[in-house]
Amino acid sequence: MLLDISCLPKNKILCIDMKSFYASCECVDHGLDPLEDYVVVVSDKNRSGSVVLAASPKMKQDYGIKTGSRLYEVPRRRHIHIFNARMKQYLEVSMKITKLFSTFVPFEAILTYSVDESWITLDGTEKLHGSPMEAAQKIRSAIWNQFGLPSCIGIGPNRFISKVVLDVYAKKQGVAECTYEEVPKKLWPVPLREIWGIGSRMEKHLNNMGMYTLGDVANSSLDRLRKRFGVIGEQLYYHAWGVDLSPPFIDARAFSQKSIGKGITLLRDYWRENEILTVVLELCEEVAKRAREIRKVGRTVSFSVRYSHNEGGFHQSITIDTATSSRCKAERSMLKGNIAGTVRLEQPRWYGLHRYLLHVLCCILMHNFEFLL
């Protein structure tokens, strides 16, 4: 199936990523070079099992230390600097960078994807900033000059293409661009594991269907993908052709928070059910606290586990009759009963396996005054 790309919207969208953001922030604050010095940021440098949250490019290149590595894997060398994470500081810098973006484009043209990554839409700014490539270079220079932080930028006609070209090319080259016409040449040869939105489990499913690159997905049958994965398969197919019809501008008034979540990566393997439930209840209390802070209550509680060593995991969700944001005894007992039920369902898989990531999510939010009425 060939798509008529002449009918597709041709926006000018940048996907901007701050290189090794946490590590770069620490470099700037400690007089180090973000591109040349060896820096690691961890959750707690006093625990050998602490997760590496960020590593400078040199650490990745010379020692293979990257996000997700553990502190005990980091060599103890005099030239390697290890810092505890300072999330408040990173968020403050991130907001300042977003404010810088607003000097190039209006607010509705900025979509923040994460603390270190954003999309901005350049449509209508050609007379101010030139071509997308020229605008990208100006933004990179402004970030470096104002904050001393390195960045890389992917350019495309939609968010999907700009994000993938960022991940595949721009993180090595600094700035990279891809058009609809260039998708078969630049993106189709890319392995599925490098494509944004395709996780390890989806990759395995696609591999079992004989697909290993984005081009394999593009040249597969839309009906076959839709039958196997439903709407996700349809999205995969059109993404493989570079099609993404996400609106290039956002309407802040249309956004409302639909869920509140909290996750934790465990520092060691947990084997006892009572230990796991203690951590889960702490996560529940944190979610409830955040819900109260924004005056929301929720009805659906979701609980997920991801095991270490690529052993998979599971997900359960329970909808309760009465919405709540309380952490009182009744709520704790209710949540504990639900989580314990989940544990019992999965008990054969819980025992004898390593724990890696626990996550609790409260969704179907409504204002607490609506609940009271």
Residue 317's CB: how many other CB atoms inside 10 A?
Answer: 13
What CA–CA distance (Å, rounded) separates 37 from 32? 6
Report the alpha-carbon angle 200-205-208, nearest 5. Answer: 120
DSSP 248-276: SS--GGG----EEEEEEE-SS----HHHH
DSSP 269-290: ----HHHHHHHHHHHHHHHHHH
Structure tokens at 145: 């000059």
Query: Is 117 assigned a catalytic role?
Result: yes
| Residue that is written with structure tokens 């290890």 in the block | 82
What CA–CA distance (Å, rounded) separates 132 from 177? 9
Residue 276's CB: how many other CB atoms inside 10 A?
Answer: 18
Sign of CA dihedral 193, 199, 205, 206: negative
Buried-exposed string 148-164: b where 16+ CB fall within 10 A, e elsewhere: ebbbbbbbbbbbbbbbb
- Check 73, 108, 117, 181 and give the catalytic one: 117
What CA–CA distance (Å, rounded) separates 136 from 130? 10
- What residues are paired with 319 via a beta bridge? 300
- What residues are paired with 307 via a beta bridge? 355
Alpha-carbon separation of residue 320 from 246, 258, 283, 317, 345 (angstroms): 33, 16, 18, 10, 19
What CA–CA distance (Å, rounded) separates 123 from 10? 9
Give catalytic residues, as residue numbers: 117
